[in-house]
Structure formats: C-alpha cells, structure tokens
C-alpha cells in the first residue's frame, strides 16, 4: 500500500510598509518629475517600462528615482489611464465618428487622485511633501493610508 503524506502550508500575505502621497493636479507626469528634480535635487527618470499589472491591460506612467548610495527608491506614477476605443461600424450611429474614451484607475477606490509618490524611506516622503506643498500647481496633496487600498498588490512593484 502506497501512502502519501500531504502537507498544507498556510501563507500569509505580507505587505511591505510603504509611504504613499496622493497628488491632485492637472499637470503631466513629466512636469511633476521635472519640478521635483529641480527643487529636490532628485533624479526622477522615466522608467523603461511603465506599470502594468495582471488584470489591468493598460500602462500607467512611471518615473523612478533610485539612490544606491543611500539605498532607497522612490516612484512617481499615475493613477489614471485614458483608453481610447474605436467604435464599431455596427453600433456607430452618432453624427461624428469619435472614439469611445474610457478611464482606467490603478486604485479604483481613489479615483480622484491623479498621481502617487511611493517610497519606503520616511525622510524622503517628508521632503517631497514639504516641497510639493509650496507649489501652486498642486490642487491637493496628502498621505494615503494603505489600509484603504483593496488591491495591495498594485502597490508592490520593483524594477
């Protein structure tokens, strides 16, 4: 008789504690990165690959700032992606043949937020907050409690 032992492992979802800043602004991502680079002496660069996640087919703009000497990473990324779909001829019965615009959110529970800045370094977040508060182009700026985020996997991304 061949008896097989079965082992069941329980895995807990671990979530690396990160600091998130929510930014409400009509600016483009490159404008935010440029401003931070000039005022903070940071080095935000557009990532080779924008953020895309399983289940979300769209890409979200992503800028990275990595300092190997002080061992920290900081990310600036968009929360919104505007997707344009071409209308099918069968269902297109309107006067103009305009594309259907669809807005996709990285964090659907925070739809009003335009951009996020993420870092595990508390001091960096404080510095970024203090500089962005002074800029009149920012409508609203605040820390995000990661407990409100339903899909925490969207916060976890690396190079």
Q: What is the pLDDT of residues 101-136, one digit of tens each?
A: 677 778 778 889 999 999 888 888 899 999 999 999
pLDDT band at 159 (very low <50, low <70, confident <90, very high): very low
pLDDT band at 154 (very low <50, low <70, confident <90, very high): low
3 in any annotated domain: no
Residue owning tokens 């991304």: 157
Contact present, 63 and 118 (Cβ < 8 Å): no
126 in any annotated domain: yes
- pLDDT of 147 above 50: yes
71 in any annotated domain: yes
132 in any annotated domain: yes
pLDDT band at 76 (very low <50, low <70, confident <90, very high): very high
Q: How many domains does the chain have?
A: 1
- Inter-helix orientation angle 122-133/29-40, to 10°: 100
> Which of 25-39, 77-91, 138-152: highest mean pLDDT?
25-39
pTM of the entire structure? Answer: 0.72
Contact present, 144 and 19 (Cβ < 8 Å): no
159 in any annotated domain: no
What is the span of the domain harbouring residue 29? 19-87+96-154
67 in any annotated domain: yes
Task: Spell out the residues 6+ positions from residue 98 whose beta carbon is closer than 8 angstroms to its own.
Answer: 87
More confident residue, 122 or 18: 122
* Three-class HEC string of 71-122: CEEEEEEECEEEEEECCCCCCCCCCCCCCEEEEEECCHHHCCCCEEEEECCH
């Amino acid at each position: 008789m061949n008896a097989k032992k079965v082992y069941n492992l329980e895995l807990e979802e671990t979530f690396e504690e990160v600091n998130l800043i929510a930014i409400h602004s009509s600016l483009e991502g490159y404008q935010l990165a440029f401003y931070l680079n000039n005022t903070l002496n940071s080095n935000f660069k557009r990532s080779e690959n924008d953020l895309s996640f399983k289940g979300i087919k769209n890409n979200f703009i992503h800028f990275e700032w990595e300092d190997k000497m002080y061992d920290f990473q900081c990310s600036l990324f968009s929360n919104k992606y505007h997707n344009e779909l071409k209308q099918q001829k069968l269902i297109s019965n309107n006067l103009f043949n305009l594309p259907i615009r669809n807005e996709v959110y990285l964090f659907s529970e925070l739809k009003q937020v335009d951009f996020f800045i993420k870092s595990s370094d508390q001091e960096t977040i404080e510095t970024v907050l203090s500089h962005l508060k002074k800029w009149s182009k920012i409508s609203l700026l605040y820390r995000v409690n990661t407990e409100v985020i339903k899909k925490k996997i969207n916060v976890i991304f690396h190079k």
